[in-house]
Amino acid sequence: MKRTVGHRFALTVASFGALAAAAIVLAPLVGSTHISLRRAFDPAIPFADNVDAQIFFVARLPRTLAGALVGAMLASAGVVFQGLLRNPLATPFTLGVSAGAALGAMLAITFNWSLAWAGIPAAPAASFAGSLVAVAIVYALSRARHSGMSTNVLLLAGVTMNAFFSALILFVQYFADFAQTYRILRWLMGDLDISSYEPLVTALPLVLVSFAVFAWLARPLNLLSLGPESAGTHGLDVTRAQRAAFVSASIATGAAVSVGGPVGFIGIIVPHLVRLLVGSDHRIVLPASALFGAAFLIACDVVARTAMAPVELPVGVVTAILGGPFFLWLLVRKR
Amino acid sequence: MLQAADVTFAYRGHAPVLRGVTMEVPANSFVGILGPNGSGKTTLLRLLAGILPPSTGRVVLDAVDLRLTPRSRVARRMAVVPQETHLAFDYSVSEVVLMGRYAHLGAFEIEGPVDFAIARDALAATGTLQFEDREFGTLSGGEKQRVIIAAALAQLTGAAGEGILLLDEPTAALDLAYQLELADLLRDLQRRTPMAIAISTHDLNFAAGLCRTLVLLKNGEVLAAGETEAVLTPDRIRALYGVEAEVTRHHLTGRLVVVPLRRVPAESRA
């Protein structure tokens, strides 16, 4: 028994936190117009005259922070789903929960045209509702086979749910006009192109609620690795922990999707890399995945913005190109 | 202290697995729940552990219905060693044993020096201290079981009252050497710390050599219960398994031994 959990937690938060902070500060510097970090933060120049600061804080920082928020939420929701279903291939995306959330957000967007399409308060709420419906189906499936989910069931359920929600999304899209359809299509690929802080502020309460529940869930998720029955005989109220995990992971997915669309594969790439680095204790894995997820998605977005400049790709294209092969590799490698 | 009172259990939409079972696990006892496959012994153990609720009747821990006792309090008194443990993720052996401390800590509390000391003692008591930094998944079946027993000991340490250790088919996946090792370990643990141990098993000789009292289950009902020597007779073995057997005391070990002789044709079974 080497370091205590307290030490490891502090070490993890410090190192992964530094990584995330560096990503947040450096990513806004990358773009078509070169800006200087020193000028942007120079207090001697009034903000109205400081073009660098304007580009940094108004044009680029919201998008970077959106990447941080979406990456953190999707990565930690992935950890929670994996712990809950006792399967390392479970993620919001592969389970179809992201698609459910996207459908919810689409409904809110399509039928509330009087409001701006991003940042309307209805979108996060509907997105959360959509993910909750998807999660309820997954929950019912996992209860029906009460010792967790085999990889086969999980993948089939995910494929079915994704196909089902995608069909409904297409159906809803039928009611949108051309201009909206284009924006919706980009958003469905997973796009962080937001132009104000408003969607972030709107999603913030959901973010805080789900992180609070995640903090409580860390030890229950460790016990659930033993199986639900053993977790129960260790003193855990299993049903309560499972419900808390399902609801909080849907809130997190809903919040993330309402901001950035259903960005794929973050929930699987990040937790796997993190576990390789820090082990499996969820008290370490959860904060590390949130912080690394933030840094990772920001980095992917930088690639998306610059790879084919001046064209800006949706970030979901980048994560899918990385994540698809990664997922297949895990599937082959799995015992 | 732990009792099943007229317990019946049926899985939803199925015939009852247990019918009117009354038995007890007294303080500092060593109880074997014995019966052929499908007799309901594992189900009875799961009811005693509080994993399943009885359909009718009650399971009572210290005169309180198990269903009315908070889970964490139950966990501090009673630990369960399942047949097999597969972890969903890689944890080290010491992490697995520290999970045994869950019921002793607050919602956001981190294991302290006391918990680490308890975990090390438990590892030492089960002869697994050398594995503490190994990945649990890399251990053999017998080693895993001893680590899970260590976790159970860590769970029972510091409880108000004597601990209860339940083991479900502990020999099912073990070869002969590990079976002997397990029997020695359990005897040794009970000698060191008074605790009640109950095991479910279909291994007659393992139970005969280890358990002081037996509960024989047949088709979900108690065929006989009491002291091992009184309960384990050739008649009962015939009734239970349809096998003619001799029950003797072994001349070297002094323990009860069951020697199966031949199958009894179905029509002549009593």
Spell out which residues of chain A touch residue B90, defining contact as CB-CB under 8 Å.
Answer: 275, 279-280
| Coil/strand/helix, residue A271 | helix
pLDDT digits (tens, 9 = 90+) for A63-73: 999 999 999 99
What is the rounded CA–CA span in Å between residue B164 and residue B176?
A: 26
Among B89, B101, B132, B135, most A C-beta atoms within 10 A, so best to mutate, is B89
Give the tens place of pLDDT for each residue, B205-250.
Answer: 999 989 999 999 999 999 999 999 999 999 999 999 889 999 988 8
pLDDT at A2: 54
How far apart are the C-alpha atoms of B11 and B55, rounded to whole Å? 9
How far apart are the C-alpha atoms of B247 and B232, rounded to whole Å?
8
Assess whether pLDDT exceeds 80 at residue A123.
no
Name, in order, each residue with C-beta under 8 angstroms of B21's C-beta and a sequence gap of 6 or more: B4, B6, B7, B8, B40, B44, B57, B217, B220, B221, B222
Q: Cβ contact (<8 Å) for B82 and A230?
A: yes
Return the C-alpha torsion angle A31, A32, A35, A40, nearest 10.
-60
Is B107 part of the contact surface with chain A (CB cutoff 8 Å)? yes
pLDDT above 80: residue A334: no
pLDDT score of A79 more than 60: yes
Cα gap B39→B240, rounded to integer Å: 9
In this complex, the residue of B71, B90, B105 whose CB is nearest that of residue A232 is B71
Average pLDDT, chain A: 85
Give the H/E segment covering residue B217: strand B213-218
Confidence label for A110 from pLDDT (cuts 50, 70 and 90): confident
Is the CB of B71 less than 8 angstroms away from the CB of A6? no
pLDDT range class, residue A91, cuts 50, 70, 90: confident
pLDDT in tens, B182-215: 999 999 999 999 999 999 998 899 999 899 999 9
Instruction: Tell me whether residues B80 and A233 touch, CB distance under 8 A.
Output: yes
B50 in contact with chain A, both atoms CB, cutoff 8 A: yes
Predicted local distance difference test score (pLDDT) of residue A121: 63
CA-based nearest residue in chain A for residue B117: A1
**What is the per-residue pLDDT across A227-266, written as a single tens digit (0 to 9) for each?**
889 999 999 998 899 889 988 998 899 889 888 888 888 9
The bridge status of strand B78-81 relative to strand B30-34 is unpaired
Neighbours of B255 (CB within 10 A): 13
* Cβ-Cβ contacts under 8 Å, B119 against chain A: 1
Query: Nearest chain B Cα to A223, which residue?
Result: B99
Q: What is the pLDDT of residue B30?
A: 95
Instruction: Select the more confidently predicted residue: A122 or A219.
Output: A219
In the structure, what pLDDT confidence band is assigned to residue A119 with cuts at 50, 70 and 90? very low
Got the DSSP string for A240-260? HHHHHHHHHHHHHHHHHHHHH
Hey, what are B10's tokens? 């049926």
- On the question of pLDDT at B122 being above 70, the answer is yes
Chain A window 129-148: which residues touch B at a Cβ cutoff of 8 Å? 148
Give B131's DSSP letter: G
**CA–CA dist A141, B46 (Å, integer):** 23
**Buried b or exposed e, range A299-319, using 16+ CB within 10 angstroms:** bbbbbbbeeeeeebbbbbbbb
Give Cα B185 distance to the centre of its chain.
Answer: 13
Q: How many residues does chain B have?
A: 270
pLDDT band, residue A118 (cuts 50/70/90): very low
CA–CA distance, A257 with A129 (Å, rounded to integer): 12
For residue A94, give Cα distances in angstroms to A320, B61, B128. 12, 44, 39
User: What is the spatial distance between Cα A7 and Cα B171, in angstroms, rounded to a whole number?
Assistant: 39
Decide if B102 and A219 are in contact by the 8 Å CB cutoff: yes
The residue among A30, A92, A64 whose CA lies nearest residue A289 is A92
Task: For residue B168, give the 3-state DSSP assignment.
Answer: strand
pLDDT of residue A175 exceeding 90, the answer is: no
Scan residues 10-39 of A and list those with Cβ closer than 8 Å to B: none
- B71, A235 in Cβ contact below 8 A? yes
**CB B245 within 8 Å of CB B234:** yes
Whether the pLDDT of residue A146 is over 60: the answer is: no
- CA dist., res. A157 & res. A81, Å (int): 14
Label residue B76 by pLDDT band (50, 70, 90): very high
Q: Which among A83, A222, A237 has the least Cβ separation from residue B99?
A: A222
Q: How far is B257 from chain A (nearest CA, A)?
A: 33
Phi, psi of B195 (to 5 degrees): -160, 160
pLDDT of residue A132 exceeding 70: yes
Q: Which helix (H) or strand (E) holds A142?
A: helix A122-144
Contacting residues of A for B144, CB less than 8 Å apart: none
Is A46 part of the contact surface with chain B (CB cutoff 8 Å)? no
Does the beta carbon of B86 lie under 8 angstroms from any beta carbon of chain A? yes
Contacts of B88 in chain A (CB under 8 A): 82-83, 86-88, 148, 224-225
Residue A147: its pLDDT value, please?
53
Is some CB atom of chain A closer than 8 A to the CB atom of B170?
no
User: Which pLDDT belongs to residue A114?
Assistant: 44
Interface check for B177 against chain A (CB to CB < 8 A): the answer is: no
Residue of B nearest to A82 (CA): B88
Cα Rg of chain B, angstroms: 19
Sequence-ordered list of residues with C-beta below 8 angstroms from that of A59, at least 6 positions apart, any chain: none
Backbone angles phi, psi at B171, to 5 degrees: -100, 0
Which residues from A are below 8 Å from B120, CB to CB?
1
Do the chains contact at B102 and A229, CB–CB below 8 Å? no
| Selection from A126, A110, A84, A158 nearest residue A251 by Cα | A126
Record the pTM: 0.90
* % of chain A residues with pLDDT over 70: 93
Residue B100 CA to chain centroid, in angstroms?
17
Residue A106's pLDDT is: 83
Q: What is the pLDDT of residue A145?
A: 60
State the amino acid at position A202 in one-letter form.
T
CB spacing of B88 vs A235 below 8 angstroms = no
Collect all residues with Cβ–Cβ distance below 8 Å to B228 and sequence separation of at least 6. Answer: B32, B207, B208, B211, B212, B213, B214, B256
For chains A and B, count residue pairs whose Cβ atoms are closer than 8 Å.
Answer: 93
Which of A252 and A39 is assigned the larger pLDDT?
Answer: A252
Does any CB of chain B come closer than 8 Å to the CB of residue A241?
A: no
CA–CA separation, A243 and A226 (whole Å): 18
Q: What is the mean predicted confidence (pLDDT) over B174-182?
A: 88
Report the pLDDT averaged over residues B7-30.
Answer: 92
**Are A84 and A227 contacting, i.e. CB atoms less than 8 angstroms apart?**
no
Q: Check pLDDT > 50 for residue A117.
A: no
Q: Which two tokens stand for residue A117?
A: 């399409």
B12 touches chain A (CB under 8 A): no
pLDDT band, residue B176 (cuts 50/70/90): confident
By the CB < 8 Å criterion, does B121 face chain A? no
Among B45-49, B115-119, B170-174, the minimum mean pLDDT is found in B170-174
Q: Which of A79-88, A171-180, B81-90 has the lowest mean pLDDT?
A: A171-180
Q: Looking at residue B173, what is its pLDDT?
A: 78
> H-type helices in B126-267, by residue range?
141-156, 176-192, 204-210, 228-231, 234-241
The pLDDT score that the predictor gives to residue A327 is 83
How do residues A284-310 score in pLDDT, each as one tens digit?
Answer: 999 999 999 999 999 999 998 888 877
- Does pLDDT of B71 surpass 60? yes
**Mean pLDDT, residues A7-23:** 92
Which is it for strands B195-201 and B30-34: parallel, antiparallel or unpaired? parallel
Measure CB to CB from residue A236 to each of B71, B91, B133 and give the nearest one: B71
